[in-house]
Chains A and B, each alone.
Chain A
Amino acid sequence: MTETVPALIPMTRARRRRPFLIVGAATIAALLVLGVIGPLFVPGAAEIVGKAFLPPSAEHWFGTDSFGRDIFARCVHAIRLDLALGVSVAVLAMVIGSAVGVISGYLGGVVDDVVMRLVDILMAFPGFILAMILLVSVGDSLPNLAAALAVAQIAPFVRLVRAKALSERELDYVAASRVSGAGWLRVAFRHVLPNSIRPAAVQLTLVCGYSILNVAGLAYLGIGIHPPTAEWGVMVAEGATNMLTGQWWTAFFPGLMIAITVMALHFIGDDLAGDRA
């Protein structure tokens, strides 16, 4: 779901212990390493390594799926795709949302009113539904999936950056820049934006996580990424029926990978947001 980030504590305030940040960052780092070098050491994503539905064992850590493919290997192969999707969606949404937000907040007036109404409309949908409708409309493909998920997450970025820009534009340094002859675009992007972007940075980590969750949700509905691609959400969807017949491992481990990844991102975001959030 979409939630915005409350007030931040000043960056200068030093805090000694930050266990959540450390755990989160270490997890993501470990995933990155596994994602980059892991595929060299495990069987291929489509390779059939044994019988179907072998339970987890020393040989097949996460067991095998209905085709006899190694689930651990597939989970490792999926890391790159899932992280790349999460990050690109979050960055795309942040770049567009921040640009619109800073212009809206800095200019104010009619522009701001129009932008805020548009944001209201975007926010009238739960992000997941918006992404679903958009994706169905433009057609399934990886770039379209990323774009649809990004559009669904733009609104909170606009709001966060706009709110900060509204207060920043009243400050002396903005006036100083203006009287020294800088145009509005330059003032907005060169001066106001860097000072308004921090709440968006927290949102970035959260959106990265939502996107991975949303990819999984869409995959379960049969849109976005399809089998036989090795992607965590697709694997959960494929394993959903096995769960009811007792082969719990087919959906359990890919879902666990999602949970661990998103949790690590949330830990990082929560730490950046400060302990009031």
Chain B
Amino acid sequence: MLRYLLRRLAISAITVLGLALVVFLVVRILPGDAAAARLGPEASQGDIDALRAEYGLDQPIIVQLGRYLFGLLQGDLGTAVSTGRPVADELFARLPASIELAVAGLLVALLIGFPLGMLAAAHRGRIPDVVARIFAVLGSSMAPVWLGLLLIFGLYSLAHLFPGPVGRLPIGMPPPPHITGSYVLDGLLTGQFAVSGEALRYLALPALTLGLGASAAVLKMVRSAMIATHESGFVRTAIAYGVPGREVLWRDQLRNAMLQVLTAIGLVFGFLLGGNVIVERLFSWPGVGRIAFDALGSNDLELLQGYALIIGVMYITLNFVVDLLYGVIDPRIRLGGRAS
């Protein structure tokens, strides 16, 4: 197990380093000049040069890369040219909002996708399967913006069930004291149940937008995993020995299918992270995706670089954890030494 763990850790570390390099190189090809953009059209060339020098943008690429990597080791992601604040501060301040949204989206995806996937597999080829399949295709065929707009129009504009796309809380309502960073949880923990309830209502539509799309992927993976285990030798043997169908389903099939479900969670989380720029813009959600959107507008390469890096690192970390869980659940993987 230790060897397996170290191997996965080494691979993750190499990937993070590669990620940092790729992000740096990609972002440096940026055509716009962040310093000029920040100072506006009236700035003189001298001012621009001074600002470029201040941020080290006038140095050769290799020097910039060296500084960048050295800074990364100390948790320094550079300074956001558009706001003058450290990139790390900008992003970490907004990260809890994004994580709250992503986790809520993941819950929605699992709550919808998991039971439907099992249902589809149990009735393979029959009506419930066809319905689930159509639902899955539908879910992955809608542009996230469009789905979000439909939900806003239907559940806010027409039905007035949920609040409009104006952020995490009603305007004027102070957020609960910071404990976890999730307004829903912090409200519960500090006894401000009204705040918690409002936060949940504001969370519902963006989480539904993210989760509905992702639920299709969960459904598909649960379904194919259940079918694969259904056709495997141990299930056939169990059935041949007369083990009741329900017991086979819950004990043998589901437990073995969990491996692939773990993969699903990794992939789905990636999807949720990828979708957050769009959903956060649509719902005015003050998370890291919103920062990325603003950075696009102000041509702030430092900030975009930090955003890409933080998303990548979260994704790699999550996949690392998934790999570890694989090893814990399935001895074949940790003993074989290679999981891919």
Q: Could you tell me which A residues sit within 8 Å of B by CB distance?
A: 1-3, 6, 20, 116-118, 120-121, 124-129, 132-134, 136-139, 209, 213, 216-217, 220-223, 233, 236-237, 240, 243-244, 246, 248, 251-252, 255, 258-260, 262-263, 266-267, 270, 275-277
Q: Is B203 an interface residue (CB 8 A)?
A: no
A3-B267, A126-B273, A126-B315 known; A258 vs B26 contact (CB < 8 Å)? no
Q: Is B293 an interface residue (CB 8 A)?
A: yes
CA–CA, A223 and B311, complex, Å: 20
A124-B312, A132-B277 known; A244 vs B145 contact (CB < 8 Å)? no
Q: Is the CB of A124 within 8 A of B146?
A: no
CA–CA, A248 and B157, complex, Å: 10
Q: Is the CB of A124 within 8 A of B315?
A: yes
CA–CA, A109 and B137, complex, Å: 39
A120-B15, A126-B270 known; A240 vs B282 contact (CB < 8 Å)? yes
Q: Is the CB of B275 within 8 A of A243?
A: no
Q: Is B329 an interface residue (CB 8 A)?
A: no
Residues of A contacting B292 with CB < 8 Å?
A: 132
CB proximity of A242 to chain B, nearest CB, Å = 10
Q: Is the CB of A248 within 8 A of B153?
A: yes
Q: Is the CB of A137 within 8 A of B274?
A: no
Q: Is the CB of A126 within 8 A of B228?
A: no
Q: Is the CB of B308 within 8 A of A240?
A: no
Against A, the Cβ 8 Å flags (1 = close, 0 = not) of B310-325 are 0110011000000000
CB proximity of B72 to chain A, nearest CB, Å = 15
Residues of B contacting A213 with CB < 8 Å?
A: 141, 143-144
CA–CA, A160 and B312, complex, Å: 22
Q: Is the CB of B281 within 8 A of A258?
A: no
Q: Is the CB of B146 within 8 A of A1?
A: no
Residue of A nearest to B264 (CB): A3
Residues of B contacting A134 with CB < 8 Å?
A: 26
Known: A121-B15, A244-B153, A255-B149. 13 other contacts (CB 8 A): A2-B270, A117-B11, A120-B18, A125-B274, A126-B311, A133-B304, A136-B304, A236-B143, A237-B145, A244-B157, A259-B141, A275-B124, A276-B228
CB proximity of A230 to chain B, nearest CB, Å = 16
Interface of B is mostly: helix
CA–CA, A217 and B146, complex, Å: 9
CB proximity of B300 to chain A, nearest CB, Å = 10
A125-B308, A128-B275, A221-B281 known; A263 vs B137 contact (CB < 8 Å)? yes
Residue of A nearest to B16 (CB): A124
Q: Is the CB of B296 within 8 A of A223?
A: yes
Q: Is the CB of A1 within 8 A of B271?
A: yes
CA–CA, A266 and B19, complex, Å: 31
Residues of A contacting B275 with CB < 8 Å?
A: 126, 128, 217
Residues of B contacting A120 with CB < 8 Å?
A: 11, 15, 18
Q: Which residues 114-152 of B have a CB within 8 angstroms of A?
A: 124-125, 133, 137-138, 140-146, 149-150, 152
Q: Is B334 an interface residue (CB 8 A)?
A: no
Q: Is the CB of B278 within 8 A of A220?
A: yes
Q: Could you tell me which B residues sit within 8 Å of A by CB distance?
A: 11, 14-16, 18-19, 22-23, 26-31, 124-125, 133, 137-138, 140-146, 149-150, 152-153, 157, 164-165, 213-214, 217, 220-221, 224, 227-228, 267-268, 270-271, 273-275, 277-278, 281-282, 292-293, 296-297, 304, 308, 311-312, 315-316, 340
- A1, A222, A251, A270: the one within 8 Å of B270 (CB): A1
Among B14, B214, B274, the one with the most A-chain Cβ atoms within 10 Å of its Cβ is B274
Q: Is the CB of B153 within 8 A of A222?
A: no
CA–CA, A120 and B133, complex, Å: 30
30 contacts between A and B (CB under 8 A): A1-B274, A6-B228, A121-B15, A121-B18, A121-B19, A125-B311, A133-B27, A136-B30, A137-B28, A137-B30, A137-B31, A209-B141, A216-B143, A217-B144, A217-B278, A220-B278, A220-B282, A221-B281, A221-B293, A236-B143, A243-B153, A244-B164, A244-B165, A252-B146, A255-B145, A255-B149, A258-B142, A259-B142, A267-B137, A275-B124
Q: Is the CB of B143 within 8 A of A259?
A: yes
Q: Is the CB of A117 within 8 A of B141?
A: no
Residue of B nearest to A140 (CB): B31
- A126, A222, A262, A277: the one within 8 Å of B274 (CB): A126
Q: Is the CB of A251 within 8 A of B312?
A: no
CA–CA, A120 and B31, complex, Å: 27
Q: Is the CB of A220 within 8 A of B270?
A: no
Residue of B nearest to A243 (CB): B149
CB proximity of B165 to chain A, nearest CB, Å = 8
CB proximity of A276 to chain B, nearest CB, Å = 5
Residues of B contacting A255 with CB < 8 Å?
A: 142-143, 145-146, 149-150
CB proximity of A1 to chain B, nearest CB, Å = 4
CB proximity of B275 to chain A, nearest CB, Å = 7
Q: Is the CB of B277 within 8 A of A117?
A: no
Q: Is the CB of B22 within 8 A of A121?
A: yes
CB proximity of B56 to chain A, nearest CB, Å = 19
Residues of B contacting A267 with CB < 8 Å?
A: 137
Q: Is the CB of A236 within 8 A of B273?
A: no
- A3, A125, A258: the one within 8 Å of B143 (CB): A258
Q: Is the CB of A127 within 8 A of B293?
A: no
Q: Is the CB of A251 within 8 A of B15?
A: no
